[in-house]
């Protein structure tokens, strides 16, 4: 539990009235929340083998950038390859795909991301490490380091170490975070029996990178 949450919990314990309804205790901690946002963002990826998301957070715990891996804007992803291996490297996804870290930095909704923390599902490769360093991100929180021994990851660690950017592995306290759209109640379909006015045009605006 974050220190702020601990202090708030201790204060509420001292002020609690017997029999009073109290706040729930199993809410997401900040780090869990931001990593979960990264994982939810990854569900937008069309990559058939690796879906990766990234979430950038400032010092006030405000999200300032989200991204996932995909093809560049304006490039028809039906005309580009998604394969991991082929006789010709140009027929693989690697020369074309934009990683989640790049898209999160490019999609920022603030003037810059200096001093921010990046939450990412996979340890960043050397190319993304360069972007992280150049953008001024101050530290990296990752979940998986499954490509640890590859040259790209070794180069990434070397770059981050030289730039004095700390990186740490996220230690989840729970294995799953379930999103249940029915938990809050589906008013229009269940309670109002058609009496509620449906939303105009069910489409919602997206601030993510291209499909």
| Candidate list 101, 154, 182, 206, residue with the active-site label | 101
For β-strands 167-169 and 117-122, DSSP reports them as unpaired
Contact in structure between 132 and 157 (CB atoms under 8 Å):
no
* Among 99, 124, 101, residue whose Cα is nearest residue 55: 101
Q: How far from the centroid of its chain's Cα atoms is residue 4's Cα?
A: 22
Tell me the CA distances in angstroms from 200 to 25, 187, 203, 204, one per residue in order. Answer: 37, 16, 8, 10
- How far is 119 from 121, CA to CA, in rounded Å? 7
Q: What φ, ψ does residue 86 adopt, rounded to 5°? A: -165, 160
Q: Dig out the tokens for 16 from the structure.
A: 């609690």
DSSP 196: S
Q: Is 101 a catalytic residue?
A: yes
For β-strands 139-144 and 117-122, DSSP reports them as parallel
Residues annotated as catalytic are 101
């Amino acid at each position: 539990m974050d220190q702020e949450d601990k202090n708030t919990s201790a204060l509420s314990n001292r002020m609690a009235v017997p029999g009073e309804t109290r706040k729930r205790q199993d809410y997401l901690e900040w780090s869990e929340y931001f990593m979960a946002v990264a994982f939810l963002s990854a569900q937008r990826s069309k990559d058939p083998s690796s879906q990766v998301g990234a979430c950038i957070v400032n010092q006030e715990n405000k999200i300032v950038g989200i991204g996932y891996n995909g093809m560049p804007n304006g490039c028809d992803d039906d005309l580009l390859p998604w394969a991991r291996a082929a006789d010709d490297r140009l027929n693989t996804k690697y020369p074309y795909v934009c990683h989640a870290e790049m898209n999160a930095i490019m999609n920022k909704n603030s003037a810059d991301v200096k001093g921010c923390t990046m939450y990412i599902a996979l340890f960043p490769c050397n190319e993304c490490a360069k972007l992280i360093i150049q953008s001024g991100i101050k530290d990296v929180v990752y979940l998986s380091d499954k490509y640890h021994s590859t040259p790209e990851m070794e180069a990434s660690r070397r770059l981050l170490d030289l730039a004095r950017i700390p990186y740490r592995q996220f230690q989840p306290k729970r294995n799953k975070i379930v999103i249940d759209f029915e938990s809050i109640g589906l008013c229009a379909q269940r309670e109002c029996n058609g009496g509620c006015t449906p939303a105009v045009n069910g489409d919602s605006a997206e601030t993510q990178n291209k499909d």
